[in-house]
Structure 1
Amino acid sequence: MGVPKGRRRVLVAVAALLAVGAVAGIGYRVLAPAEVVTPARGDLPPPVTPAVGVIGRLPAAPLVVEGRLRVYAAQRQVYADQPADRRYRVTPFWSYRRWPAQLNGVLVSDATVVSRWSDGKLVALDGRTGKVAWRVDGPPPGAGFAARRTGAAVVWDPRGLFVATGPDGRPVLVAAGEGHLRGYAVADGRELWRAGGDAGCRTALGTTADGRVLILDSCATPATVEFRDVATGAVLTRWRPPAAGPELTVMPLGCLTPRSRCRGLRTSGPGDAAGRGWLVGAGGPVAAPALDAADRTLVGEFVIGSDGPVLKGWEARTGKRRWQRGDLGPVRVLAVGPGRVHVLTEQRDLVTLDPTTGAQRSRFPLTVGRDGIAWQPGLAYAADGYLAVERLRERAGPDDDDQAYFLMSEPVVLAAT
């Protein structure tokens, strides 16, 4: 006997509803917001003192945490491998994923790895274990994964994400986005303060070594630099360079980490393209003429820069020349750190100098195997005695895709200095 026509219709309808429900369930599981935490299963390796020289090459840009492990960024993931001096990238030691938000910035403060996401969420991870330390809602950055495939722009140059030390000695995280500025305790994510503003004309640029937030206020006429207390968000002072025009460009200098704990700045405007250098500290900025040139770098209390083929070091406050090196030829400063300035010669030798004396700490070819020297440096990073740099094709341009932009599939070279 066949199934009655009416019953057949009911069965078809039920089957269709079940199918729709199954598809909806699968779609929800795939597309619903999700978080996947994969903590470390083993012990953290001890700190190492790697031999001076090139360690190896990597496909992604690392952040070094406590000299023990390396942290990387992907579009929807923060992950780490170890030890820090491993020649290649290996299976993640820990991993943290979110969906559908995209990773926008990563910052390391001691052993805490702070990540910011396109939906504004701030997630702090214990760098030693990969476990979530805290989560808070922050100001949305207005962008997603704004980096090429190495992730260097996200980990080595995060925008709108800074850290500074408060008056009590505790680190404070500052997050800026869509016209809002907020401060958080790095230890537990507790919100300390918040400030509003106009997203179109107020830009948070970084933090200073003495615990202030540096902001360019272009809403004002003329443009003004504003300093806020990192612990309270209160405006401490507003400042303009003497004789500056109505428009102003400001660049932080001498930062301990990207755009954080900076000791100086350079201002420029129409008719002042070369710019003027300043030291920041207690009170208002102090003029530092040795920093005026665009190719000068601030390392602690010293200014480093080239004068033709000669590399020189000056006292930042007095402008007195302390040393010079004419034996290196034309060089490019790649990165700086406490007690170190890393320069690259035309022969692609990496030379690390003491910024106070110009004395050479190490020198070696920044090459791996038969990679050669036909490349130009991209973004670079230095921490804990390590240096990492992107290698780009000699004729790479900003509009090139990644294949034409990077030297190879593993474009990041890692070295110990």
Structure 2
Amino acid sequence: MGIPRGRRRLAMAVAALLATVAVAVIVHRVLAPAEVSTVAQADYPQAARPAAGVVGRLPVAPLIVDGRLRVYAAHRQVYADRPVDGRHRTTPYWSYRRWPAELTGVVASGRTVVSRWSDGQLVALDAPTGRVLWRADGPEPAESDAVVRRTGAAIVWDPRGLHLADLADGRTVVVVSGDAEARGVEVSGGRQLWRVVLPGRCRSDVGTTVGGQLIGLDRCAGPATVEFRDAATGAVRERWRPPGGSDELVVTPLGCRTGRSDCPALRTAGPGDAAGRGWLVGVGEPIAAPALDPAGATVVGEQAVVVLDGVVVGRSARTGAELWRSADLGAARVLAAQPGRVHLLTDANELVTLDPATGGRLSRFSLNVGRDGTGWVPGAVGAVGGYVAVERLRRPVDPAADDRRYYLTAEAVILAAT
């Protein structure tokens, strides 16, 4: 005796409904917004003190945090490994992943790692444990033409629209901006200090100053103008144009502590400028610093360093007085700088580190590891905590090439202690 037709139809309808519900549950679990935090299971490592030389090679760009960890960026993940002087990347010490948002920037202040995501969220992580310290809303990142390649260097070494500013009272502010607004958030605790409306893509952030100001370039109404916004309050304190400056102004921060944060100087340039003009930034209008005019010049503390006709010259950034010179490096160029160190790269890809105050040599060695050789071109560079990391690009450099052709090897980043 078979099942009555009515009951059979009811059973089929119930089965179809249950199947639909099951599929919906699966889709929700897969596609719903989520985060996965995998905290550290081991003790926080001690700060390493490796001898000067090449430490190792890595497939991704490291952000050195607290002299103890290397923090990396992936498409939807920020994670750390240790030891900081490990020869290769190791199993993550901690990891934080979000879905479906994408990671767009990472900065670090002391033992706090602040990550920014494509939906505007800021998530601060504790470096020793990887635990979430706080979350804060922020503006969605502005659209960018910048190419983020597999090393993630653009995210950890030069995150656009994400900067740190140290205030005179000892606080540190993370300044985050998009096309329509900017916000200042206290690194300690995640408290929002201010929020301002921005005019749109005609204005862009340049970096922050050592005096706790956000540098912006405003092209919205009239000639391009540099604005200095107080990182503590969000108020614009100064609007400035270099004397005789072009309407098509380009502003580049110089000597920044990391990325484009805590910069003591900037260079302005426009059509017709051979290199531009250098300026020291502090309270009030920028001060002309001719020692920073030449292309490739940088500033470390109070010293300007530049290579002129094959000779490395150190000058007072304020007076221009020559302090020292070094003529024994051959063809070299300034690669990066950090407090107490200026790094130069020779044409043979030797890394030379000098004391910017005296010109004394701190270290010199070849940037070679294994059998990779030195026949490469430097790409993006990160320098912090006495370490220097350099992307190695294949000769000749083809910006349009895919990553396999663009980079020298799969482990394209070479890490050195100086």
| TM-score normalised according to structure 1 size | 0.97
Amino acid of the structure 2 residue aligned with 1:89: R
Q: Deviations over 1:216-242 (max 9, x none)?
A: 111131221111111111121111111
**Match for 2:109: what amino acid?**
S
- Flag structure 1 segments of 5+ consecutive residues without an equivalent: none
Partner of 1:316: 317
Deviations 1:84-141 (Å, cap 9, x if unpaired)? 1111111101000000000000000111100000000000001111000100110100
| Equivalent residue, structure 2, for 1:142 | 142
Percent of matched pairs sharing the same residue? 61
The superposition leaves residues 35-86 of structure 1 with CA deviations (integer Å, 9 ceiling, x where unpaired) of 1111111110111211211111111111111111110000000000111111
Q: Distance in 2 between matches of 1:78 and 1:343?
A: 30
- What corresponds to 1:58 in structure 2? 58
Deviates more, 1:299-308 or 1:58-67: 299-308
Deviates more, 1:188-197 or 1:144-153: 144-153
Q: SS where residue 64 of structure 1 aligns?
A: strand
Matching residue's letter, 1:380: V
Q: Which residue number in structure 1 is paired with residue 155 of structure 2?
A: 154
Q: Secondary structure at the match of 2:155?
A: helix
State the 1:31 CA deviation.
0.4
Deviations 1:382-416 (A, max 9, x none): 11111111111011221111000011111111111
Question: Is residue 2:364 matched to residue 1:375?
Answer: no
Q: Which residue of 1 aligns with 2:280?
A: 279
TM-aligned CA deviation for residue 244 of structure 1: 1.6
SS at match of 2:25: helix
- Check conservation: 2:307, 2:334, Cα contact below 8 A: no
- Return the offset for 1:326: 1.7
CA distance in 2 between partners of 1:363 and 1:346 (Å) = 13
Aligned to 1:104: 104
CA distance 1:146–1:96, change in 2 (3 Å): farther
Distance 2:74 2:31 in 1: 19
**Structure 1 residue 6: deviation in Å?**
2.5
Query: The residue matched to 2:135 in structure 1 has which SS?
Result: strand
Match of 1:39 in 2: 39
Q: More deviation in 249-258 or 29-38?
A: 249-258
Counterpart in the other structure of 1:270: 271
Deviations along 1:259-308, one digit per CA (max 9) or x if unpaired, are: 11110111112233521110111221111112112211121211112112
What CA distance in whole angstroms lies between the structure 2 residues aligned with 1:53 and 1:233? 43
Identify which range, 298-307 or 25-34, moves more after superposition. 298-307
After alignment, is 349-358 or 108-117 more displaced?
A: 349-358
User: Tell me, which stretches of 5 or more residues in structure 2 are unaligned?
Assistant: none
After superposition, where does 1:178-327 map in structure 2 within 5 Å? 178-327=179-328
For 2:288 and 2:128, locate their aligned partners in 1 and report how far apart those are by CA, in whole Å.
42
After the TM superposition, which residues 59-98 of structure 1 pair with which residues of structure 2 at under 5 Å, given as runs?
59-98=59-98
Asked if the contact 1:104/1:146 (under 8 Å) is kept, the reply is no
Which AA in structure 2 matches 1:242? Answer: P
Q: Partner residue of 1:165? A: 166
RMSD: 1.4
Q: Does structure 2 conserve the Cα–Cα contact (< 8 Å) formed by 1:349 and 1:366? A: yes
Q: Deviations over 1:167-226 (max 9, x none)?
A: 311101100112211111110111101111212211121110011111111113122111
SS in 1 for 2:37: strand
**Partner Cα separation in structure 2 for residue 273 and residue 232 of structure 1:** 37
Name the aligned partner's letter for residue 3 of structure 2: V
**Could you tell which deviates more after superposition, 163-172 or 92-101?**
163-172
Counterparts of 1:27 and 1:245 in 2: how far apart (Å)? 55
d(CA) in 2 for partners of 1:193, 1:400: 42
Matched, 1:413 2:384: no
In 1: Cα distance, 2:56 partner to 2:371 partner: 12
Give the TM-score, by structure 2 length.
Answer: 0.97
Letter in 2 for 1:373: T
- Distance in 2, Cα, partners of 1:328 & 1:167: 39
**Offset at residue 142 of structure 1 (A):** 3.4
Moved more, 213-222 or 115-124: 213-222
* Cα shift readout 1:154-173 (whole Å, capped 9, x = no counterpart): 00011011111123111011
- CA 1:196–1:12 in 2, change beyond 3 Å: closer, same or farther? same
